[in-house]
Amino acid sequence: MVDGIKRIFEDEAIIVCIKPNGVASEDGKASGMPTMLSKGCGNKPFVVHRLDKEVGGLMVFAKTKVAAADLSVQMQSGLFSKEYLAVVEGETETTSRYEDLLFHDRGRNKTYVVKRERKGVKDASLGFTREGLAFYNGEKLSLVRIKLETGRTHQIRTQFAFRKHPVFGDRKYGSHGVGQFALFSAHLSFRHPLSGEQLSFSEKPEDAFPWSIFNEQILKDIR
């Protein structure tokens, strides 16, 4: 661990690490992940994908322009796989796939499901499996594993909230839950940009509320 950032893997081309909740994926007015990581590797890494500031979990950064370009191509061609864990409000389907048209309002920094295609509207799709169901204060909560098929701004948050299943702790999208923002980047799979070796990384969220209300074995079994 360097400067409070847990590094899962690092070589001359990439850094795979755990982004903490509340830290920006890229640098802005406040220090984000690239600057924090540069303190340990000398140069500021390249951002190749993003997580919302509120979301924690696995991220990969490129240490060279060549590596960044290769990873970007993999994302565009569907060779880069991302899975998330989330605790959402209510009882979801056991397994399902959501397809929507999304519009991101930059002024409000909020994404909406819309009915018609127009400028700025993008298609969005994801699949998920419910891994657990629990009760908290008389309300149902679902633990879901999500496979992103597209990468739109606030996509998971928007698509689940639209179906009355906001991510626990996501007040922006209608959650009434008070606690840790319960969306976590749990699995990344991609080809190493230099060697071509297929790499896979998996992590679980910390055993803190609301994750802690689910059976520990369920989380252990999630790859």
Within 10 angstroms of residue 180's Cβ, the number of other Cβ atoms is 20
Residue 206, SS3? coil
* CA 143/CA 158 separation, integer angstroms: 17
Task: Evaluate whether 125 touches 97 at the Cβ level (below 8 Å).
Answer: yes
Residue labelled with tokens 């795979």: 16
Contact 161, 174 (CB under 8 A): yes
Catalytic residue among 3, 11, 27, 52: 52
Q: Is 52 a catalytic residue?
A: yes
Cα 196 to Cα 70, 71, 190, 192, distances in angstroms:
10, 11, 9, 5
Give the whole-angstrom CA distance, residue 121 versus residue 124.
Answer: 10
Cite the active site residues: 52
